Structure 1
Amino acid sequence: MTGKVYLIGAGPSRDLITQRGLDAIANADVIVHDRLIDKEILGRARDDAEMIDAGKKADKHKLKQHEIEEILVDRASKGKVVARVKGGDSFLFGRGGEEMLSLREAGVPYEVVPGVTTAISVPARFGVPVTHRNVSSSLAIVTGHEDPNKEESAIDWRHIAHAGTIVVLMGVGNLPKIVEKILKVKDPETPVASFQDAYSKQERVVHGKLKNIIEVAEEQDLKPPAVTVIGEVVKLGEFWKA
């Protein structure tokens, strides 16, 4: 008997996961979860559920991606119901697409449970709408951490820089390079904000302008995880006026 895998986006916090996601976790035989998943969400699992920590931090991975995919296929092939739980939305730079294709190739039934993406929810938490009809009518969401095995970047930063709002996920480590590329197109006075540890007690904002955000980030010791927003919409946040 073949089981089933639920590819669940858990959103940015325990309060923003969907009911469908919670139900899938509560009924699963196996939970394969990432590092930043709230303990209260994982606490919805059955007492007898197998818990597998697949957390990743920078270059420190408890399990390689192919090992995660092998676990999903293996457990489901044994008739287990598996909940693969990732923060935000697993299809937005969460490698959910890779896991889906692996399951499909193996003939394993699966269901995608979308999540609230941090690209929109985190800026919103700090009063920054990523679009505004009087400020920005275009949005680019970009990963700041591409596959290190790529021979060259697949991101056309010159093109991306023309967007009214740019949201960079997982970009703290490469922020100097990203800013350097965007400065070739955008005004140095363009506002920038990085939102660190959103939805936690440690959450904070580091903000400045393209011309000085690198220095500000270093002075204030910006650390991942953080979502960075570049564009005039940043000025709509209350922190900008403070």
Structure 2
Amino acid sequence: MLDWLKSLLVRRGHFAALDAADFPDFAPGSVWLVGAGPGAPGLISLLGYHALGQAEVIFYDALVSDRLLIHANPRAQKIFAGKRGGKPSPKQADITLQLIDWARKGKRVLRLKGGDPFVFGRGGEEAGALFRANLKFRIVPGISSGLGGLAYAGIPVTHRETNHAVIFLTGHDETGDVSPLDWPSIAKAAPVIVMFMAVKHLNTIVQKLLAAGRDPTDRLAIVSNAASPQQTVVETTLAAASDLADVPTPAIVVVGPVSAYRDALDWYTGPARENSFG
């Protein structure tokens, strides 16, 4: 367990209870795929913090906060492995090979990903390669930006007054083109649609949803840099979304009535902040 975390818990009287949790050993020659959550460093799990303090080599994504990395093992080698659209990025095959290579050297390897490793994070592909390489690995779930990011904007993904279903999708495929989804079915399948990596093709996606019969007055909100000091939220309608320009990324797009709850629930940046802990 991290020394600073131990000290904090001792002062607050929680150390004995957490010590009893018996965190698993981060064994040499193994790889942990850990979800860092969105933005705020406090959104990583305690097991994720445990791994951060034990790791000897850390491969971190572009969406991992610098404010989180300062809590890493100071002796760890940190390797940037982020992929951002339209910018030079490490190739996925190279990242996977490096994970395998460092683990075979007997290092404790941490693959630190924004959000959750198994939600549009290619964690399944990396874990599959580790399995085929006969290496030990552990998956540590994280808070997906499609949940936690919207929560920081005061947008509940579900609310019993508006929706009992939600669709999560990615706006582009592995080539960078708009996702080849059954858009007519998606348009009618749920009141709320949450879209990852959709800003680049937002105009095309909007037209596909409208052509499939989605209400032009349906609410649309875009949460950029979620759960960080740079967070911004743009609210509009589905029909007017094509007029938006220069939307900051990374961003989560949500279509549906739930963004209306921001008037009361925007605890992070809005009026409700006065009734929250800030």
- Classify the TM-score, shorter chain: over 0.9
Q: Is the 8 A contact 1:53 1:62 kept in 2?
A: no
Contact 1:190 1:210 in 2 (8 A): yes
Contact map agreement 2:170 2:197 (CA 8 A) in 1: yes
C-alpha separation between the residues in 1 aligned to 2:258 and 2:179?
27
The residue aligned with 2:183 is 157
Report the alpha carbon displacement of residue 126 of structure 1 after superposing the two structures with TM.
Answer: 1.7
Q: Indicate how the Cα distance of structure 1 residues 160 and 108 shifts in structure 2: closer, same or farther if over 3 A, else same.
A: same
Q: 1:60 Cα deviation (Å)?
A: 2.2
Distance 1:222 1:153, change over 3 A: closer
Moved more, 141-150 or 61-70: 141-150
Report matched runs for 1:1-242 at 5 Å. 3-12=29-38, 13-148=40-175, 153-162=179-188, 163-184=190-211, 185-215=213-243, 217-218=244-245, 221-238=246-263
Amino acid at match of 1:225: P
Partner Cα separation in structure 2 for residue 68 and residue 143 of structure 1: 22
Q: Contact 2:172 / 2:179 at 8 angstroms: preserved in 1?
A: no
* Kept in 1: contact 2:155–2:258 (CA 8 A): yes
Contact in 2 for aligned 1:11/1:17 (Cα 8 Å): yes
Distance (whole Å) between structure 2 residues aligned to residue 52 and residue 211 of structure 1: 42
CA distance in 1, matches of 2:28, 2:117: 23
| Count of residues in correspondence between the two structures | 238
Question: 3-state DSSP class of the match of 1:11?
Answer: coil
Give yes or no for contact 1:10–1:37 (8 Å, CA) kept in 2.
yes
Give the CA deviation at 1:2: 6.5
Instruction: Structure 1: give runs of 5+ residues left out of the alignment.
Output: none
**Counterpart AA for 1:84:** R
Q: Distance in 1 between matches of 2:128 and 2:28?
A: 17
| Distance (whole Å) between structure 2 residues aligned to residue 40 and residue 20 of structure 1 | 17
Cα 1:149–1:205, aligned 2, differ >3 Å: closer, same or farther?
closer
Q: Distance in 1 between matches of 2:119 and 2:35?
A: 10
Percent identical pairs in the alignment equals 39
Opposite residue 57 of structure 2, the aligned amino acid is: V
Structure 2's unaligned 5+ residue stretches are 1-26, 272-278
Cα separation, partners in 2 of 1:32 and 1:109, compared to 1, 3 Å: same
With normalisation by structure 2, the TM-score equals: 0.81
TM-score by length of 1: 0.92
Q: Is the 8 A contact 1:145 1:174 kept in 2?
A: yes
Q: Deviations over 1:57-87 (max 9, x none)?
A: 1132431000000011001111111000010
Alpha-carbon distance, 1:133 to partner: 1.2
Amino acid in structure 1 at the alignment position of 2:42: D
Give 1 or 2: higher strand fraction. Answer: 1
